[in-house]
């Protein structure tokens, strides 16, 4: 009788791209990152598939989150492969966790895309001005880039960058929770906006904590940091993305002023989709009266 041998493929990423330092990525951590990568890829493909069912003018939120999940797939692929990192001397917890730590800049590159994606999506939903949305996008960049610079700072001055980034986060929280909700109430989506923004800000609240004990304070290892950030990243973009996309079926795109049609962007005042309403045929012209016959 033939014996069928079933073997599992081993994760050899760390053999090809070996880690370094005192705190580094191990095989278990790489396995976790491959799982996160797979979830991002599935989310990306699913969102792209959903665009095929959406109306041509109602794909705005799909496109925003397709980009975010696509970049997330690339970033987590890099990190699972033990790529996209630098070896940085640490200023804290050196005695217990070692001096040199792998700092993966790939996740910060992902955050530069994912944080603004969430900001833009909820900003457009709330109906705030484009100036407010751009302001919030720059706040998210200040937050992420300050944390990135802090992660690469080898002295306790890193906490100054941490403070700057956290202040940007606090401004962002105020803008989204208070100002955005007021605007959302005016366009009739306050309930959905409040739920989505509360979820996002709950996750945002945990990012400074995760950073402070991982890349910032060196209190937990690289793998522990990846588990913390991986869960947060999955809950922030894929979960938020599907919630927004499915709820968007109930929203009036014209009142939100994001109804993109074949004629361009439809403003709130007309509130119509021109191609959805057939143009009434012009009434037929009355036959011309016969010319009078001149008397002979």
What pLDDT score was predicted for residue 188? 85
pLDDT higher than 60, residue 147: yes
Q: Hey, is 126 helix, strand or coil? A: helix
Of the candidates 164, 133, 243, 233, the one whose C-alpha atom is nearest the C-alpha of residue 196 is: 243
- DSSP codes, the chain: -PPPP--PPP--HHHHS---SSB---HHHHHHHHHHHHHHHHHHHHHHHHHTTS-TTS-HHHHHHHHHHHHHHHHHHHHHTT-SEEEEE-SSSHHHH-SEEEEETHHHHHHHHHHHHHHHHHHHHHT--HHHHHHHHHHHHHHHHHHHHHHT--STTHHHHHHHHHHHHHHHHHIIIIIHHHHHHHTT-HHHHHHHHHHHHHHHHHHHHHHIIIIIT--S-HHHHHHHHHHHHHHHTHHHHHHHHHHGGGS-TTTTT-EEETTEEEPTTT---GGGSPPPPPPPPPPPPPPPPPP-
- Model confidence, pTM: 0.84
CB 186 within 8 A of CB 165: no
pLDDT digits (tens, 9 = 90+) for 83-134: 999 999 999 988 888 899 999 999 999 999 999 999 999 999 998 999 999 9
b/e burial code for range 31-55 (CB count within 10 A of at least 16 → b) = ebbbebbebbbebbeebeebeeebe
pLDDT digits (tens, 9 = 90+) for 226-272: 999 999 999 999 999 999 999 998 888 877 777 665 455 555 455 45
Of the candidates 246, 144, 141, the one whose C-alpha atom is nearest the C-alpha of residue 195 is: 246
Please give the backbone phi and psi of residue 58, each rounded to the nearest 5 degrees, phi first: -125, 45
Model confidence at 296, pLDDT cuts 50, 70, 90, reads: very low
pLDDT higher than 50, residue 159: yes
What pLDDT score was predicted for residue 96? 82
Model confidence at 55, pLDDT cuts 50, 70, 90, reads: confident
> How confident is the prediction for the chain on average, in pLDDT?
88
Rounded CA gap, 37 and 73, in Å? Answer: 5
């Amino acid at each position: 009788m033939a014996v069928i041998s079933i073997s599992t493929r081993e994760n050899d990423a760390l053999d090809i791209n070996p880690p370094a330092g005192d705190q580094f990525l191990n095989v278990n951590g790489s396995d976790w990152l491959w799982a996160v990568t797979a979830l991002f890829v599935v989310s990306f493909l699913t969102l792209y598939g959903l665009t095929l069912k959406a109306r041509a003018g109602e794909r705005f939120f799909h496109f925003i989150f397709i980009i975010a999940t696509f970049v997330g797939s690339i970033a987590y692929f890099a990190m699972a492969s033990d790529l996209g990192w630098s070896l940085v001397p640490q200023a804290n917890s050196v005695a217990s966790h070692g001096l040199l730590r792998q700092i993966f800049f790939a996740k910060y590159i992902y955050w530069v895309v994912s944080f603004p994606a969430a900001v833009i999506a909820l900003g457009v939903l709330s109906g705030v001005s484009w100036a407010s949305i751009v302001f919030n996008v720059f706040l998210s960049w200040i937050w992420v880039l300050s944390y990135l610079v802090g992660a690469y700072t080898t002295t306790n001055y890193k906490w100054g960058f941490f403070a700057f980034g956290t202040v940007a986060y606090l401004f962002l929280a105020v803008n989204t929770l208070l100002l955005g909700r007021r605007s959302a109430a005016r366009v009739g989506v306050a309930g959905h906006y409040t739920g989505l923004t509360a979820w996002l800000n709950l996750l945002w609240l945990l990012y400074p904590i995760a950073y402070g004990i991982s890349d910032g304070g060196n209190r937990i290892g690289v793998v522990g940091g990846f588990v913390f950030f991986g869960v947060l990243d999955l809950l922030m973009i894929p979960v938020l993305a599907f919630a927004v996309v499915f709820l968007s079926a109930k929203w009036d795109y014209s009142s939100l002023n994001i109804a993109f049609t074949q004629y361009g962007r439809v403003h709130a005042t007309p509130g119509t989709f021109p191609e959805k309403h057939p143009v009434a045929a012009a009434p037929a012209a009355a036959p011309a009266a016969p010319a009078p016959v001149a008397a002979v």
